[in-house]
Chain A
Amino acid sequence: MADEVVQPDTQYEDSGLTVPESTPAPAEAADKEAPPSSAWDAEAEGFMQLPSGGEFDPQSACMVTCAAPTRLIVLAGAIDSGKTTLLASIYEMLQLGPFAGYLFAGSLTLPALERRCHLARIASGRSTPDTERTKGMEDSLLHLRVREEDCSRPSKDLLFTDLGGERFRLAKDSSDECRRLELLLRADHFVLLIDGAKLARVEYRHEAHVSAASLLRSCLDADMLGAHSYVDVLFAKWDLVQPVAEKRGPKTFLKHVRSQFEDRFGGRVARLRFFEVAARPTASDLPFGYNLDKVVPSWIEDAPCRRYFKPEFPSSFALLREIDRFGATAGDHE
């Protein structure tokens, strides 16, 4: 087992091990976000800085991935397709008690999660729930640690991406932009959300379908996803689709979407599944987090079987690119 390890797959070799000039030196990057690992050392005026609890970037996420096996769940989809709401809803479900058979065991990004829930809480002063749009081009990751309710096995660490929809629009339209989404190389689960608000309307539903399919194809053709990948397609905001879903037209259309995905991509990925979810239903009697309990356990338990050659590390670990360090350490313990 010395040479072969289970890790981000052969594409890893293609990602290179050189340091792009734009990549900040570790210390420089550390200053940018005050990563938790160095925060303990900060001492001024009799106070010590504590971890910020903000979202991780791939570099600071190493403190999670280096410490324990970690599942990386990439939430992908168009602008306003419900990626952040999905993540916030999983966290909100845990606020109420064990979720889908799992206990909340901790999080190193609690303030970041709280911030994402704010506009859906009464503390925001609003009367209708909302989610702040994820802006910017950064790779943001949020952390959750969970453990089975019977505590029969150790806790498991999860990292969810929170990337703006604009990133995925660019990735859909350009293979070069797609290759910039380096987190995909390390993804254990690629979760593609299709906006139910668009699926429910004849004038928007084709664009919603085609955009999602184009994004997945772009990721596959750019070798960012591949035969090892686990892909879940989520028909999000199902509360908006449900009222029309039983009518003949929409029902046929949704069947068509599924069969198109299966025909085009079923043979190119390790697993392709479909779920109807409503993370935060507003338009029907569906419960909060509808169907999330069906899909989330597999994100925790399942990891794609990947075999690839462990790269030879440069003399200094710090010389690796962020994504290389992130990927190189993430699965070593498994």
Chain B
Amino acid sequence: MNECALTQLLVVGLPATGKTTFLAALWHVAESAEIRCSLVVSRYHGDREYLNKIRDEWLEYRQLPRTGLVDEQSVSMRLVRRAGGSEVEVVFPDMSGESFKLQWTDRRWSVEYSRLVSQAAGVLLFVHPDEVVEPTRIDQANRLVAELPEVPEPPTDAEFEESVEWDPSQAPTQVQLVELLQFISDHAAEKRFRIGVIVSAWDLVRDNGVAPEEWVGQRLPLLSQYLRANSDDYPYRVFGVSAQGGDLQRDSARLRKCIRPSDRVGVTGLDCATHDLTAVVGWVMGGSLAAGVQSR
């Protein structure tokens, strides 16, 4: 019999935040079991063409193309804890970052996604260090300009100065992410689920010596506060993940030296082994691994 528990995790993030690269690397790490990881693929099932396609690109050190609105699909993996336990089918909808952007700008989501949200048992929220739009105020910028050696031009009369119209797509990243989480919490059937915040391309910021949670507190303070304030209902952890292992051009030589592709992966976070991407998923799933939220 192929019966096993079913768990659905939401993969949420604005465009170019590394969602698909994460799934590609996760599939490889869990399926190949070439490193000692928390979760392994227990058996093949269903259609794996998309997962294998993105894994091949990842293995060939290629930048994975952005998922377009028409390319969205769900992938599933049957996972089991390496230490033993019941098998769980984990479904990850691989959605375009544009879809999430549209939730904020156009205030709508698809009926299909709504169904996924109502069944979700946890959230993987992606942030990319190079894609953070900060809410910079004019007075902050002016203060920096004033420190420049050249004397700035006197400010224009505020009343007659021209302005660009407000465009929601330009809103700060942290505001958009909070809104996406609010949409989910309003709509999810599970009133208590875990949120794994994944700071992708962690290799870009790792050398600064800050922990992933600290980094979110510094760069996305509104999101950080929201997570802390709501952690009774939505426990969270922040992970620094480098699914590619580094910059594909700059670090090419180092990456190609890895005998086991899984060794390229870097994970920083509580209770995570250095290359174990599955530990992130394992934590978000929490109790779901022992008993899935649905059976089929």
Contact = CB atoms under 8 A, between A and B. Distances in A.
B139 A40 contact: no
Interface string B136-157: 1111111000000000000111
- Between A49, A52, A146, A147, the greatest number of chain B beta carbons within 10 A of the residue's beta carbon is seen for A147
A277 to B, nearest CB: 16
B224 to A, nearest CB: 8
A142 B72 CA distance: 35
Interface stretch (A91-99, A173-181, A188-196, A227-235): A91-99
A123 B164 contact: yes
Nearest to A89: B137
A317 interface: no
A138 B230 CA distance: 32
A50 B138 contact: no
Contact of A51 (B107, B112, B137, B155): B107
A252 to B, nearest CB: 31
B138 A122 contact: yes
B70 interface: no
Contacts of A107: 178
A111 B168 CA distance: 7
A314 to B, nearest CB: 30
B138 A48 contact: no
A48 B158 contact: no
Nearest to B159: A130
A221 interface: no
Interface residues on A, range: 35 or more
Given A129-B137, A280-B139, A95 B178 contact: no
Contact of A288 (B108, B114, B139, B178): B139
A129 B158 contact: yes
A146 B168 CA distance: 23
A119 to B, nearest CB: 6
B228 A53 contact: no
Interface string B166-181: 1110111011001100
A47 B106 CA distance: 11
A50 B106 CA distance: 9
Contact of B221 (A46, A47, A96, A122): A96
- Between A50, A106, A115, A130, the greatest number of chain B beta carbons within 10 A of the residue's beta carbon is seen for A50
A107 to B, nearest CB: 8
B138 A128 contact: yes
A95 B177 CA distance: 13
A114 interface: yes
Contacts of B68: none
Contact of A282 (B139, B172, B175): B139
A10 interface: no
Given A48-B110, A103-B229, A106-B182, A94 B222 contact: yes
B137 A120 contact: yes
Nearest to A129: B138
A103 B137 contact: no
A124 B171 CA distance: 11
B164 A125 contact: yes
Nearest to B108: A47
Nearest to B218: A97
B58 to A, nearest CB: 31
A106 B110 contact: no
Interface string A38-61: 011001001111111100000000
A155 interface: yes
Interface string A70-99: 000000000000000000000010111110
B135 A117 contact: yes
A106 B178 contact: yes
Contacts of B186: 40, 51
Interface in B216-274: 217, 221-222, 225-226, 228-232
Given A50-B103, A126-B162, 11 more contacts: A46-B111, A46-B112, A47-B108, A48-B109, A49-B107, A51-B107, A51-B183, A95-B222, A111-B168, A111-B171, A151-B228
25 contacts: A47-B109, A48-B109, A48-B111, A50-B103, A51-B186, A52-B107, A53-B179, A94-B225, A106-B229, A110-B175, A114-B168, A114-B175, A118-B166, A119-B163, A120-B138, A121-B136, A123-B167, A124-B163, A124-B164, A125-B162, A127-B161, A128-B158, A146-B229, A151-B228, A155-B230
Interface of A: 39-40, 43, 46-53, 92, 94-98, 103-108, 110-111, 114-115, 117-130, 145-147, 151, 155, 280-282, 288
In the A-B complex, list the 6 residue pairs whose CB atoms are closest, starting with the nearest. Answer: A105-B229, A125-B164, A147-B229, A103-B225, A118-B166, A128-B158
